[in-house]
Amino acid sequence: MRRGPALENLTRATEALCVAGLDPATLRDRVLTRLRRAVPFDAAFWSIADPATLLFTAPHQDGIPSHTVAPFLENEFLGDDVNRFVSLARDPSGVRTLAQATEGRLDASARHRDILRPLGLGDELRAALRARGACWGYLCLHREAGALFAPEEAEYVRRLAPHLAEGIRAGLLAAAVEAADPADSPGLVVLGGDGSFLSATDAGRVWLDELGHAEPERFGVPAELRMLAARLRAPGGPGAAQPRLRMQTHAGRWAVLHASHLATGGSDAVAVIIDEPSPSELAPVMMLAYGLTAQEQALTSLVCRGLSTREIGARLHISALTVQDHLKSIFDKTGVRSRRQLVATILHEQYLPRAMTGDRPAPSGFFAPPARDRPAISGRSAR
């Protein structure tokens, strides 16, 4: 592993990528290129995650054969192995090597015995990419058999993880602005280094008008946007979480505003994205299709996140018996018999098909259905 000024320069370059608003795929490729120079690896896995369920939305393998996808998924979601991503997402450190998880006995892991060792791979360094209390992605670095990751390498990845999470989140927001229908999309407003108005997308002007701040060229930048820009530039701002503001429009709906740095030829412009809020408990489309109630949707998301019956009850303020009753109803509606089968059903019916066809995750982390399909989803029954 590199040390000294070379490592610090590489770190700053990687952190700068994470505030540049790059699309998630470009961010991934550029980060892995730089990370390989700091923490050498022979293969890698990277994926965006849906914060509501912790399931993959854009898995990518570098140097790992495609035929391993199915066994990897079975091990991750149906097995009972160590160092699983869903466990790391809830772990205080969020980063662990397989050697640490098995106390040096790599073959204690079924993933190592059945998948990694036959590929000539040994230790793995896994990280949950978390920011602002949510997990936005996963990273796994692999080394050839016999080469272990050092504690300082795991610590370095832990240092980068929040920046990578913010980079994924910012990229999803920016991609949503580019890909969405202007009539039903997030809005983008760009401010100069002095807080002045520079530009806005058509959707951005629609949002500003709905918020009561039309024509910023004439009447100035709204105080809400100036406040977000100021917070972003406050000490610790460049590497800190994106400032957010939730407010109600004149039409009565809620809007959430996110501010992030915008790479524009060396200037310190700020991008403010205005969108409808997406609560972290947002239920995937499949939950609605199966007719799950709001309580059952919330409970299903917690099951996907690996919470126990006691933890689910505490989170939803219901008894363990009520949790079991809800689970029985969920199993009946979805046709499964266990929590793991439930997670596998959601993964295979809603996440993997969309990920494999290249559907883009929305700013919420889940996939945004085409606008023409949205009215039909909530009324459709799968049984």
Three-class HEC string of 52-79: CCCCECCCEEECCCHHHHHHHHHHHHCC
pLDDT at 317: 93
pLDDT value at 130 more than 90: yes
pLDDT for 192? 85
- Per-residue confidence at 374, pLDDT binned at 50, 70, 90? very low
Name the nearest CA neighbour of 280 among 304, 247, 260.
304
Q: Which of 225-229, 258-262, 365-369 has the lowest mean pLDDT?
A: 365-369
Give the pLDDT of residue 184.
59
Neighbours of 315 (CB within 10 A): 16
**272 C-beta neighbours (distance < 10 Å), count:** 28
Beta bridge partners of 275: 256
Considering only residues 306 and 62, tell me which one the structure prediction assigns the higher pLDDT. Answer: 62
Mean pLDDT over 71-95 rounds to 91
pLDDT more than 70, % of the chain: 85
Mean pLDDT computed over 34-61: 93
**Residue-level pLDDT at 183:** 47
Average pLDDT value for the chain: 84
- pLDDT bin (cut points 50, 70, 90) of residue 273 is confident
Name which residue leads in pLDDT, 340 or 358: 340
Residue 201 backbone dihedrals phi, psi, to 5 degrees: -75, 165
Sign of CA dihedral 150, 153, 158, 159: positive
d(CA 60, CA 45) in angstroms, rounded, equals 6
Q: What is the pLDDT of residue 278?
A: 53
- What are the pLDDT digits (tens) for 132-189? 889 999 999 999 999 999 999 999 999 999 999 999 988 887 776 665 554 457 888 9
Per-residue confidence band for 117, with pLDDT thresholds at 50, 70 and 90:
very high
Read off the pLDDT of each residue in 64-91 and give the average, rounded to a whole number. 90
Answer yes or no: are the C-beta atoms of 288 and 265 closer than 8 Å.
Answer: no
* Confidence tier at 329 by pLDDT (50, 70, 90): very high
Q: What structural domains and CATH numbers belong to the chain? A: 5-176 (3.30.450.40), 182-275 (3.30.450.20), 285-377 (1.10.10.10)
Kindly give, in sequence order, each residue whose CB lies less than 8 Å from that of residue 167, ignoring residues fewer than 6 positions away.
Answer: 17, 18, 19, 20, 22, 27, 31
Give the sign of the dihedral formed by CA 286, CA 288, CA 289, CA 291: positive
The tokens for 269 are 């412009």
Tell me the pTM.
0.70
pLDDT, position 381: 29
pLDDT > 90 in the chain, percent: 43
List the one residue out of 56, 66, 59, 33 whose CA is nearest residue 45. 59
369-374: average pLDDT: 44
Q: Is 65 exposed, middle or buried (0-12, 13-18, 19+ CB in 10 A)?
A: exposed
47-61, 195-209, 262-276, 318-332, range with greatest mean pLDDT:
318-332
**pLDDT tens string 300-316:** 988 988 889 999 999 99
pLDDT score, position 239: 41
Predicted local confidence at residue 288, as pLDDT = 61
* Top-confidence residue, 34 or 220: 34
Average pLDDT for 107-123: 96
pLDDT for the residue numbered 240? 45
pLDDT at 265: 54
Across 346-363, average pLDDT: 81
